[in-house]
């Protein structure tokens, strides 16, 4: 009975969710700048007569309480921020904020959670317990909006026993979800490295201390962190995506600047690796006559799907979608600040298939061409409502 009611409402509100997503996609905002997005969410909640309160500067927390008696509480979360990417799509709802795009699907997450709110508000007389809706800013940027909202009390008054979140996955066919129990997503740290040498003429390298050569040796040497320092059973990623040497064809620069990322799934190893990276980089630089400043900004922890909760919600998801639409996923070395919640209470985070069925290629997350099969909202809104109400004991 509950499943049928939710499916009917998910179908009813699907077009509204699509319209909301298109609006959000047209007006994306960067991390901690989601003022218009938060205002839009508040307006939608007001029209639904759902009580909300602001949290952090651009976060919103809402409460939907069933009419039947129960003290149980579960939380649902959506992130709202966009990325600094120039969109290259040609749809009617392309981003109107130049250089900003919802290329990670947070417009989908927000519109989906609003759609779930429509369903839950319509079913108030049918269920017991309380659902806390968390519309969170700043997932894409350290320190992460989740950490700030936790500090401001998002997990108290009332206190949920569990939190559920989803993330779109274009590589996964629409209608399916992917689930990984235990350690699912990696911790993430930012690396900022400055190598100093002595510049000079490219034809007289013997009179210089070449920071380009030093930087090259450091990049290669640091790969020992992954290949020789990390336990083979502990997933580890170390990548440098920016190397800047402002010299010329015959000019050896004074310094080289690099930026990278370090990702892991073990907090003890993560701390050890930080020390090893600094030790290796400074040692290589000094051995070649230069110096190295190595700055590490610690980001999100690893994301842990609590095993018992994940097993329970997998059963509910199977009931709602069918066994053939549940995919078992392995660990993913991307990072998500939803991880902060999972280190405070039991958490469940799954991937929502949004792959289009029109034969066109499905571009990856963070692509300037990212788009989705919008009919997925009939699945995403209903599934999240079903998971929440079943977890509450309905």
pLDDT, tens digit, 9 for 90 and up, residues 62-103: 999 999 999 999 999 999 999 999 999 999 999 999 999 999
Q: Where are the domains of the chain?
A: 2-185+302-391, 187-298
Ordered mean pLDDT values, 10 residues apiece, the chain (394 residues): 96 98 98 98 98 97 96 98 97 97 98 98 97 98 97 97 97 95 98 98 97 98 96 95 96 98 97 98 98 98 98 98 96 97 98 80 90 96 98 96
- Give me the catalytic one of 139, 140, 255, 337: 139
> For every residue of the chain, which 3-state class applies, written as one string?
CHHHHHHHHHHHHHHHHHHHHHHHHHCCCCCCCCHHHHHHHHHHHHHCCCEEEEECCCEEEEEEECCEEEEEEEEEEEECCCECCCCCCCCCCCCCCCCCECCCCHHHHHHHHHHHHHHHHHCHHHCEEEEEEEEECCCCCCCCHHHHHHHCCCCCCCCCCEEEEEEEEEEEECCCEEECCEEEECEEEEEEEEEECECEECCCHHHCECHHHHHHHHHHHHCHHHHHHCCCCCCEEEEEEEEECCCECCEECCEEEEEEEEEECCHHHHHHHHHHHHHHHHHHHHHCCCEEEEEEEECCCCEEECHHHHHHHHHHHHHHHCHHHEEECCCECCCCCCHHHHCCCEEEEEEEEEECCCCCCCCCCCCCCCCCCHHHHHHHHHHHHHHHHHHCCC
187-298, what's its fold? Alpha-Beta Plaits (3.30.70)
Whether 81 is catalytic is yes
User: Is 189 marked active-site?
Assistant: no
Domain 2-185+302-391, second-level architecture:
3-Layer(aba) Sandwich (3.40)
Reported pTM: 0.94
Q: Which of 81, 87, 362, 371 is catalytic?
A: 81
pLDDT in tens, 97-153: 999 999 999 999 999 999 999 999 999 999 999 999 999 999 999 999 999 999 999
């Amino acid at each position: 009975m509950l499943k049928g009611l939710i499916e009917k409402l998910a179908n009813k509100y699907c077009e509204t969710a699509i319209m909301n997503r298109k609006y959000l996609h047209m007006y994306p905002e960067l991390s901690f700048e989601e003022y218009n997005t938060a205002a839009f969410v508040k307006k939608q909640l007001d029209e639904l007569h759902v009580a909300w309160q602001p949290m952090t500067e651009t976060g919103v927390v809402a409460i939907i309480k069933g009419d039947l008696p129960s003290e149980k509480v579960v939380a649902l979360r959506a992130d709202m921020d966009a990325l600094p990417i120039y969109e290259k799509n040609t749809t009617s709802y392309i981003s109107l904020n130049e250089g900003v795009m919802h290329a990670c699907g947070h417009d989908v997450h927000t519109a989906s959670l609003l759609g779930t709110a429509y369903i839950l508000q319509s079913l108030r007389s049918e269920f017991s317990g309380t659902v806390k809706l968390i519309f969170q800013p700043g997932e894409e940027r350290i320190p992460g909006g989740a950490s700030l909202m936790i500090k401001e009390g998002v997990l108290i008054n009332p206190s949920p026993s569990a939190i559920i979140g989803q993330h779109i996955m274009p590589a996964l066919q629409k209608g399916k979800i992917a689930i990984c129990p235990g350690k699912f997503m990696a911790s993430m740290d930012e690396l900022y490295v400055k190598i100093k040498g002595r510049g000079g003429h490219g034809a007289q390298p013997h009179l210089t201390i070449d920071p380009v050569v030093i930087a090259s040796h450091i990049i290669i040497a640091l790969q020992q962190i992954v290949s020789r320092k990390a336990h083979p059973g502990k997933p580890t990623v170390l990548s440098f995506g920016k190397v800047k040497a402002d010299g010329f064809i015959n000019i050896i620069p004074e310094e080289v600047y690099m930026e990278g990322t370090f990702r892991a799934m073990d907090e003890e190893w993560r701390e050890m690796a930080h020390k090893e990276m600094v030790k290796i980089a400074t040692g290589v630089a000094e051995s070649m006559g230069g110096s190295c400043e190595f700055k590490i900004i610690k980001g999100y922890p690893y994301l842990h799907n609590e095993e018992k909760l994940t097993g329970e919600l997998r059963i509910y998801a199977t009931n709602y979608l069918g066994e053939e639409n549940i995919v078992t996923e392995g660990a993913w070395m991307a990072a998500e600040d939803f991880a902060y919640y999972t280190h405070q209470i039991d958490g469940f985070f799954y991937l929502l298939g949004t792959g289009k069925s029109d034969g066109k290629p499905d571009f990856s997350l963070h692509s300037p061409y990212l788009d989705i099969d919008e009919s997925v909202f009939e699945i995403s809104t209903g599934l999240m409502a079903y998971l929440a109400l079943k977890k509450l004991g309905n």
